[in-house]
Amino acid sequence: MKKTLFAAFTMTIFSLGLGAQEITTIINQQKQKTMETNKNNSAVNHQFKPLPYAYDALEPYIDKMTMEIHYSRHHKAYFDNFIKAINGTPLEKMSMNELFENMSTLPAAVRNNGGGYYNHELFWENMAPGGVGMTERFEKMLKQQFGSVEKLKEEFANAGLTRFGSGWAWLNVDEKGNLFLSSTPNQDNPLMDVAEKRGTPVLAMDVWEHAYYLKYQNKRVDYINAFWNIINWKVVEERYDEAVVKNK
Ligand code: MN
């Protein structure tokens, strides 16, 4: 289709008897138009990013089939429905943060699908095959704020376990740079104005059944225990640093 159009376009140019310079100008104008169209298209602002590793890369902690269905169907559906919900409305010009800050006033489709899209991006990124360890600095901070790393894990697991139905567990930074744990229902997150306690998430854990049911069935606790083996603490720390700098 593209080739045919291009051929027709070229034919038109030659039949008009234009010189090379004029052709270049026309082509550049076309390119400029395309770039402007893309800039105004929300699908360009919100990208469906590739999974940062293969579907089977988190085995044996998260199985290949769960990852494939989770990413290519659930996550993709949130993304597509989010774009559908904002397309052609003033919302398509707003950043995710702006949307989250005004969430209580926006349609449910934006809250559920925008949250779903964003939360899963964080989740994929804060996992890595075999996990990536934390620095001494971060470990010290966790000890200071939670007593010990074990205590943090225990409390984080508890946030995920006690979330009734579907939702997320979070490690967040507040405005003062202090870390705190929380959980949210459905596809809400701590950036939304509807959240019980607001902050910037640095670690996300999906506790929807679709995240673990194929391998762990009803044993959410086993999935949560396995999760610690695949956390990318480097990404968590980068998010922490970024949030603290932003809040200053
Ligand atoms: Mn999910």
Q: Which residue has the tokens 């550049």?
A: 28
Q: What is the mean pLDDT of residues 7-29?
A: 52
Question: How much distance in Å is there from the Cα of 29 to the middle of ligand 1?
Answer: 43
Return residues with CB closer than 5 A to ligand 1 (ion). 206, 208, 211
Phi first, then psi, for residue 240 (nearest 5°) are: -60, -50
**Six-digit token pair at 77?**
């559906």
Question: How much distance in Å is there from the Cα of 175 to the middle of ligand 1?
Answer: 27
pLDDT in tens, 80-139: 999 999 999 999 999 999 999 999 999 999 999 999 999 999 999 999 999 999 999 999
Question: How much distance in Å is there from the Cα of 200 to the middle of ligand 1?
Answer: 19
What does the mean pLDDT of the chain come to? 88
- Torsion angle in degrees (nearest 10) through CA of 179, 183, 189, 194: -100
Report whether 240 contacts 140 (CB < 8 A): no
Q: What is the C-alpha to C-alpha distance for residues 166 and 222, in angstroms, rounded to an integer?
A: 16
User: What pLDDT does residue 25 have?
Assistant: 59
The CATH number, out of the four listed (3.40.50.1100, 1.20.58.1610, 3.55.40.20, 3.30.70.270), of the domain defined by the range 61-248 = 3.55.40.20
- Predicted TM-score (pTM) of the model is 0.82
User: What pLDDT does residue 24 have?
Assistant: 56
The answer to whether the Cα torsion of 82, 88, 91, 95 is positive or negative is positive
Lowest mean pLDDT among 31-40, 114-123, 229-238: 31-40
**Domains in the chain: boundaries:** 2-32, 61-248
User: What pLDDT does residue 32 have?
Assistant: 57
Phi first, then psi, for residue 202 (nearest 5°) are: -115, -20
Phi first, then psi, for residue 131 (nearest 5°) are: 75, 160
Q: What is the C-alpha to C-alpha distance for residues 104 and 120, in angstroms, rounded to an integer?
A: 21
Question: How much distance in Å is there from the Cα of 202 to the middle of ligand 1?
Answer: 17
pLDDT in tens, 165-185: 999 999 999 999 999 999 999
Question: How much distance in Å is there from the Cα of 189 to the middle of ligand 1?
Answer: 13
Q: What is the mean pLDDT of residues 136-157?
A: 97
Report whether 167 contacts 183 (CB < 8 A): yes
Strands 167-173 and 200-206: what pairing? antiparallel
Question: How much distance in Å is there from the Cα of 39 to the middle of ligand 1?
Answer: 29
Question: How much distance in Å is there from the Cα of 32 to the middle of ligand 1?
Answer: 38
Question: How much distance in Å is there from the Cα of 2 to the middle of ligand 1?
Answer: 37
Residue 3 has pLDDT above 50, yes or no: no
